[in-house]
Amino acid sequence: MNQKLAQLKTILAEISDIKGAADLLSWDQQTYMPPGGAEARGNQLGTLQRLAHERQTSSELGNLLTELKPFAATLDPDSDDARLVKVVARDYEKATRVPSEWVVEFAQVTTLAQQAWMEARAKSDFPMFSPHLEKIVELGHRYISFFPKADHPYDILLDNFEPGMKTADVKAIFDALRPKQVELIKAIAQKPQVDDSFLHQAFDEKKQWDFGVDIITKFGYDWNCGRQDKAAHPFTTGFSNHDVRITTRVAPNFLNSMIFSTMHECGHALYGLGSPDALERITLDGGASLAVHESQSRMWENLVGRSLPFWEHFYPRLQETFPSQLGNVPLEKFYQGINKVQPSLIRVEADEATYNLHIMLRLEIEIALMESKLAIKDLPEVWNTKMQEYLGVVPPDDARGVLQDIHWFSGYMGYFSTYALGNLVSAQLWEVINRAIPDLPEQIRQGKFDALLGWLREKIHRHGRKFEPQELVQKVTGSKIDAAPYLRYLNQKFGQIYGL
């Protein structure tokens, strides 16, 4: 069987290499590719995705899996080889249901759509983009049709990002979470608002960039295995555990944007860089799911990066960097300012207390699109109505409304709930971490992150894709994804800031 395993791993390595080449083209598309290259890039990506799909659905791979399944059943179920056969068999079963023609068309349509989205958002013109979204939604319906009927059609899309999760599971979690978060937001609204005007000034872009680089270097981001570039919407791409690249964006008149985007993407990158060599190029590398990935990015961005101990260390340096803007702003006022709770238009700049409401809104819209209960032409109006309903604000234009996120326009239907789920997982992990490292706040206060990163490497990163998300969370925290730790975190933090 060792020979069969070796054959399997050889095929998986070839698939990984092809997908890596496609990922590199996608990274370039969002960073350096000139707009005129979109059509050719779509063709290139279509070809690479077709080749990877054909290899992933080959009879050779299927036959190897058939031979290896009995052998894998004799192994320790948590061993790398047993998990490899299980994960690859699952991927194979899904991939063989999807025609190569659909894979090619999806790559072409989404490549052109991303370029159109950037132009439409710049002009705040949703009708300019809507024909592209029509095609993407139609591709989503066709994708669902390739699979046996599920409890809910959205289950099939959600499973691509959260293996094993069901729409009903997510709805139940959100239904329990929503009223508690709304209650907290209403309580905060009754208190005097904190002042964050000092964050809305002119901040030199190069100085912002250098400060962000310094932070994530201390976090443990390895610049020999990564780089940072600018993008319209920050993202992270990993080509291997020795090449994980991040992007960010810089707002010249708002300090939060670049600093916290950089920390967020670094969290993703640290997860990718922590994948062990043994799992590379055999489909077990990467992360357990998007929610687990988001737990890492949101942890470094918020639980670490928006904490008081963190800024007790970094704020003096920030004041030195921007003396005229922050020199007379006390630490406590700065800490309150970066944690100000106020319903806002832009998801990626939302505070922790309101952020999940942005996600719940998007999930409702995604489900309605997949249920064919919402027409594309009505999307801006529905978006604005739900923003009023959920957050009490109405976008003044499409750029700050329905066009703000790249995900749908990249074809990522089924993705958004993972952000909120990631928030919950981050708090679950944080409680366990603080029991394991009792002096963690003091370590953060000293600008030391080695123990935190080491714990995450051992408990989360080294497992790659071996475990499904609920399984991994259960192993590490003792329970499946649970909203209670996150609510405890929010109530404690904002209770202190706002005197609740």
Beta bridge partners of residue 245, listed in sequence order: 237
Residues 90 and 209 in one domain: no
Residues 211 and 346 in one domain: yes
Structural domain includes residue 214:
yes
Under DSSP, is residue 389 helix (H, G, I), strand (E, B) or coil?
Answer: helix
Cβ-proximal residues to 46 (8 Å cutoff; 6+ apart), any chain: 103, 104, 105, 107, 108, 111
Domain end residue (candidates: 149, 175, 206) = 149
Residues 59 and 107 in one domain: yes
Structural domain includes residue 161:
no
Q: Give the number of domains in the chain.
A: 2
- Single-letter residue type at 149: K
Boundaries of domain holding 44: 2-149
Residues 192 and 141 in one domain: no
Structural domain includes residue 461:
yes
Is-above-0.85 flag for pTM? Answer: yes
Domain end residue (candidates: 119, 149, 179) = 149
What are the pLDDT digits (tens) for 167-211?
Answer: 999 999 999 999 999 999 999 999 999 999 999 999 999 999 999
Separation of CA 21 from chain center: 21
Separation of CA 213 from chain center: 20
pLDDT of residue 404: 93
Residues 177 and 103 in one domain: no
Domain end residue (candidates: 94, 120, 149) = 149
Report residue 430 as tokens.
Answer: 């944080």
Residues 363 and 225 in one domain: yes
Q: Angle at the Cα of 339 (from 334 to 343), degrees rounded to 5?
A: 130
Q: Which residue has the tokens 């810089």?
A: 250
Query: Averaged in consecutive runs of 10 residues, what is the pLDDT profile of the chain (500 residues)?
Result: 92 97 95 93 95 96 96 95 97 97 95 91 94 96 96 96 95 93 94 96 97 98 98 92 96 94 98 96 94 98 98 98 98 98 92 95 95 95 95 94 91 93 98 98 98 98 96 97 96 96
pLDDT of residue 349: 87
CA gap 409, 419 in Å, rounded: 17
What is the CATH classification number for the domain harbouring 180?
1.10.1370.30
Q: Is 389 a catalytic residue?
A: no
Rg (CA), the chain: 23
Question: Using the 8-state DSSP alphabet, how is residue 236 labeled?
Answer: E
pLDDT of residue 232: 83
Decide: 298 and 426 in contact? Cβ < 8 Å. Answer: yes
Separation of CA 349 from chain center: 14
Query: What's the farthest any 2 CA atoms get from each other in the chain?
Result: 70
Structural domain includes residue 160:
no
Report residue 387 as tokens.
Answer: 């923003």
- Single-letter residue type at 165: M
Q: Of residues 54, 60, 138, 265, which has the active-site annotation?
A: 265
pLDDT of residue 140: 96
Q: Which has the closest alpha carbon to 120: 412, 405, 411, 414?
A: 405
Structural domain includes residue 154:
no
Residues 340 and 265 in one domain: yes
Residues 322 and 450 in one domain: yes
pLDDT of residue 338: 97
CA gap 1, 317 in Å, rounded: 58
- Count how many Cα atoms sit within 13 Å of the Cα of residue 416 in the half-sphere of its side chain: 26
Residues 97 and 132 in one domain: yes
Residues 344 and 310 in one domain: yes
What's the first-to-final CA gap in the chain, in angstroms?
63
Structural domain includes residue 157:
no
Decide: 226 and 262 in contact? Cβ < 8 Å. Answer: no
Alpha helix (H) ranges present in 371-416? 379-391
Structural domain includes residue 390:
yes
Structural domain includes residue 155:
no
Q: Angle at the Cα of 294 (from 293 to 299), degrees rounded to 5?
A: 110
Residues 252 and 176 in one domain: yes
Dihedral angle of Cα 41, 43, 46, 47, to the nearest 10 degrees: -110
Residues 144 and 177 in one domain: no
Separation of CA 183 from chain center: 26
Report residue 190 as tokens.
Answer: 């009754």
- The sheet carrying 243-248 orders its strands as 228-230, 243-248, 236-240
pLDDT of residue 242: 97
Length of the chain: 500
What are the pLDDT digits (tens) for 417-448?
Answer: 999 999 999 999 999 999 999 999 999 999 99
